[in-house]
Amino acid sequence: MNRGAIWSNGRLFFNTLDNQTFALDARTGTEVWHTRLGDIKQGETMTMAPLVVKDRVLVGNSGGEFGVRGWLTALDAATGKIAWRAFSTGPDNEVLIGDQFHPFYPSDRGKDLGKSTWPGEAWKIGGGTVWGFLSYDPTLDLVYYGTANPGPWNPSQRPGDNKWTSGIFARDPLSGQARWFYQLSPHDLHDYDAVNENILVDLPFNGTTRHALVHPDRNGYLYVMDRETGEVLSASAFVPITTSTSVDLATGRLRYAPEKDPQPGQTVRDICPASPGAKDWQPAAYSPRTHLVYIPHQNICQDAETAQTSYIAGTPYVGATLRMKPGPGGKRGRVTAWDPAAAKPAWTLDEDLPVWSGALATAGDVVFYGTMEGWFKAVDAKTGALLWQFKTGSGIVGQPISYRGPDGKQYIAILSGVGGWAGTIVANDIDTRDKTASTGWANVVPDLRQKTQKGGMLYVFALP
């Protein structure tokens, strides 16, 4: 169970659920080295795809819902030895915050904020895991990644901003030293995380070209940031939002809507977006031809009730009961083509079920994505018009790729096989009579069994 592997210099690097990173000879499959990085008995796992930068293999951990303390670790690509580890919570020396750290906003400045913004020693079981995708800018020589939600989900147990969770770090890949940080959801109230992909593009802004970072976040806003400094240039809603009103560009703070704050023992209704967010980890695509970002995402809300919870190592540490439901309009999925320079959509497509596959944009101005019913679709990148579709054997939650074969032809590949958080109703045979099952998914996709089935098959298509 992981989100992918990476090839570099003849070696294949990947993570396993029991916290090991492996390096194989890509041609023979022979193991070169493996390194164990965490303890699954504590609820710690690894599901993300590694990133290789220079001679470093960068990997992060999962398990925020088990009270795991998040980190990003760099391994020596040749030997597998740990070069550095940067925690997401705790004192500056363990977060690798030093003299090079210059966050843009004052709220992210100060000594040992990874401790002082938590009650007592709650930071030791505070989440902030690193299970999403990493990006690298070779010109600035910086790695960008998001940190996940704080633990537990019940925010009344962790007053404060809960640094450095639910935000974006920029780091030096060789030393691990942090350059800047921005917290998208301070004191995260709804499990919004910030692990979604960071797309690095150069964009026009107020008459100049800025080295930008584009981040469609689970909290419902698409952020365009200066990737050199961490300044937010724009933050625009791409779904209906009830949990906040806007992002204050002067301070960088998310303006929460107090009426949607979780209250222990009370049911708060119509929380939009729901905890999986306006968009979860399924990656968007950017086309340098159209200058649009193609976002596969969902349109779901939830009712939620929080309660006091206790930490027991290796067991769930959540303190919330959810009941998800379709968002405004009733369609549970959407693909949005977003213009990041104009901060507005170019076109949108509605889908019945959440769109949990990644998107792929090609130089032929075609965008590919999959649906949870199992349709693999190609649409016009400029208009969204449907060009072609193919019904696979199971729901698609994987990422399409494009490659040139040895025959010189272009191919598109997609893995079909429903699963993950959104597909667990089918993959794990969940009884949907309990509307809170699968952390609330049972109520929003109770019809998933009628629309798809279990599976696992790789499909490859040739382009003319």
**Residue 195 burial by Cβ neighbours in a 10 Å radius (0-12, 13-18, 19+):** buried
For this structure, is 2 an active site residue?
A: no
Q: What is the mean pLDDT of each run of 10 residues along the chain (464 residues)?
A: 90 97 97 97 96 97 97 98 98 98 97 98 98 97 98 97 98 98 98 97 94 98 98 98 98 98 95 97 97 98 97 97 97 98 97 98 98 98 98 97 96 96 94 93 96 96 92
State residue 280's pLDDT score. 96
Catalytic residue among 15, 44, 61, 65: 65
6-266 has which CATH code? 2.140.10.10
Alpha-carbon distance of 211 to 304, in angstroms, equals 39
| Nearest C-alpha neighbor of 271 from the set 296, 249, 302, 250 | 302
Catalytic residue among 161, 191, 217, 280: 191
- Give the ranges where 199-256 is alpha helix by DSSP (H): none
Per-residue pLDDT tens digits for 384-393 = 999 999 999 9
State residue 299's pLDDT score. 98
Compute the radius of gyration of the chain from its Cα atoms: 21
Catalytic residue among 15, 19, 61, 149: 149
Torsion-angle region of 155 (φ positive above 0: left; ψ -120 to 50: alpha; else: beta) = alpha
Specify the 3-state DSSP secondary structure of 73.
strand
Alpha-carbon distance of 186 to 137, in angstroms, equals 26
Distances in Å between the Cα of 46 and the Cα atoms of 51, 125, 374 are 14, 17, 27
Per-residue pLDDT tens digits for 410-458 = 999 999 999 999 999 999 999 999 999 999 999 999 999 999 999 999 9
Backbone phi, psi, residue 153, to 5°: -65, -30
State residue 2's pLDDT score. 83
Alpha-carbon distance of 302 to 153, in angstroms, equals 14
pTM of the model: 0.97
For this structure, is 65 an active site residue?
A: yes
Distances in Å between the Cα of 378 and the Cα atoms of 51, 369, 382, 400, 401 are 28, 7, 12, 11, 13
For this structure, is 191 an active site residue?
A: yes
State residue 464's pLDDT score. 85
State residue 39's pLDDT score. 96
